[in-house]
Amino acid sequence: MPRRLLIYSHDSFGLGHLRRCRAIAHHLVERFADLSVLILSGSPIVGSFDYKARVDFVRVPGVIKLRNGEYTSLHLHIDPEHTLAIRSSIIRHTAAVFDPHVCLIDKEPLGLRGEVRDTLAMLKARGTRLVLGLRDVVDEPAALIEEWERKQVYPAIRDFYDTVFVYGPPEVFDPLAELPGFDEFASKVRFTGYLRRTLPAYEGPCHATENALPAEPYLLVTPGGGGDGEGLVDAVLRAYEHRPDLATPAVILFGPFMQSGDRNGFLARAERLAQVHCLTFDAHVERLYAGASAVVAMGGYNVFCEILSFDKPALLVPRTCPRREQWLRASRAAWLGVVRTLELDAAYEPATMATALEALPSSPPPSAALRPLPLDGLERIAAELTPELGDRPAPLRALG
């Protein structure tokens, strides 16, 4: 009997939410032969990725959050309230026609500015299983509780959701213990562990080839989507400018959302460095991880999953603003011995960063500190959703 899963990913900026949802969709259609998955996304590059058979997407008009906290349309020259009204209408009508057995909402329980509230009410009345997916760390508790009170997150979870997936292990962050009042939802919470990433079957060339890749091994430097990664890239370039003789070359993957002015400035500096190679975007980034000897990153969720999946030594230089999510993830992972960390101020010191980069390839991988690595997330999600989506997967070991 055909089954249907609807996934909502609100973001118009960055790669994290979309890539997480795509990984889940791809695993589930591999696991359940009669399943179709539709992803609702505001990402302007949702069409830049490949999708497996029985996975498709609907793109809603993009919006972007300004520094003052207000939203504006990403491309349309109309009032943001009108853009949000269009998005809400598309979401509700798509859900009504698609009529999913399960609806998975990524991160925002009521969607952007409450845009999925009516859709959730409609689907709940139809008997659809409603699932909220949260990354391992959303933000530090004090800031998060204030934000969640404003967005009415607890009432939304209480009124609408059957299940809450936490895409990580409690050893890194346990919202039931660390977020005041969240233990109310203990019966709904499922810790999945991290979402394993694997090499794609696609064997074509990298999408972005400004410079040829060096022979392996190399340091993969990635600020994720790149929209706020200029500090990391600048720090790495400073280190290679200070020490052009660094033995391991670097491949810097800027990310599609880095400002063109920043990217062009970095490219000009990299052209003078024989050991630095630059790419803008590769939809099959897993191959870059597989070929790397180590990874230098900010510490976003997807990058962390990839570091664990390919078991690469890693140096994390996390951002601390506007959220401390990356800092929390990096510091907890460092405490477990899984990664090394460096504050951005220290990374800006060329000698300090050069020393850290030089030592990184010979550092132990994550599996030396944590075995087995908690990468059963996709399998656990499939097992949890089996009653609605298909037959039961094989039993899994306990997490933790």
- Compute CA 400 distance to the chain's CA centroid, rounded to the nearest angstrom: 22
Please check whether residues 186 and 227 belong to one and the same domain: no
Residue 164 pLDDT > 50, yes or no?
yes
Q: Give the range of the structural domain holding residue 20, as residue numbers without chain letter.
A: 3-196+375-389
Residues 191 and 324 in one domain: no
Give the three-class secondary structure for 35: strand
Handedness of CA 49, 52, 58, 60 (dihedral sign): negative
Answer yes or no: do 112 and 185 share one domain: yes
Picking from 193, 197, 146, the residue whose alpha carbon sits closest to that of residue 165 is 193
Q: Does residue 190 surpass a pLDDT of 50?
A: yes
Domain containing 130 — which CATH number?
3.40.50.2000
Instruction: Give 208's pLDDT tier (boundaries 50, 70, 90).
Output: very low
- With a pLDDT cut of 70, the percent of the chain lying above it is 90
Q: How many CA atoms lie within 13 A of 398 on its CB side?
A: 1
Question: Strand, helix or coil at 229?
Answer: coil
157/226 same-domain check = no
Which tens digits make up the pLDDT trace of 316-336? 999 887 788 999 999 999 999
| 25, 64, 65, 326, 346 from 69: Cα distances, Å | 31, 10, 6, 20, 29
205 located within any domain: no
Q: Which long-range contacts (CB under 8 A, 24 or more apart) does 69-73 make?
A: 71/112, 71/113
pLDDT in tens, 216-261: 799 999 988 767 889 999 999 999 999 999 999 999 999 888 888 9
Ranked by mean pLDDT, the top range of 204-213, 224-233, 357-366 is: 357-366
Domains contained in the chain, number: 2
Q: Identify whether the C-beta of residue 109 lies closer than 8 Å to the C-beta of residue 156.
A: yes
158 and 230 assigned to the same domain: no
In this structure, the answer to whether residues 265 and 166 fall within a common structural domain is: no
pTM of the model: 0.91
Domain-embedded: residue 201: no
Residues 181 and 230 in one domain: no
In this structure, are 291 and 320 located in the same domain? yes
| 323/66: higher pLDDT | 323
Same domain, residue pair 190 and 236: no
Same domain, 234 and 257: yes
Q: Would 318 be classed as within a structural domain?
A: yes
Residue 213, in any domain of the structure: no
> Mean of the pLDDT values across residues 122-150?
95
Q: What is the Cα 16 distance to its own chain's centre?
A: 3
Is 243 a domain residue?
A: yes
Residue 204 included in any domain: no
- Tens of pLDDT, residue by residue over 84-127, are 899 999 999 999 999 999 999 999 999 988 999 999 999 999 99
Let me know if residue 352 belongs to a domain: yes
Same-domain pairing of 286 and 340: yes
Residues 120 and 247 in one domain: no
What is the model's pLDDT at position 210?
Answer: 46
Judge whether 212 lies within some domain.
no
| Residue 379, Ramachandran bin (φ over 0: left; ψ between -120 and 50: alpha; else beta) | alpha
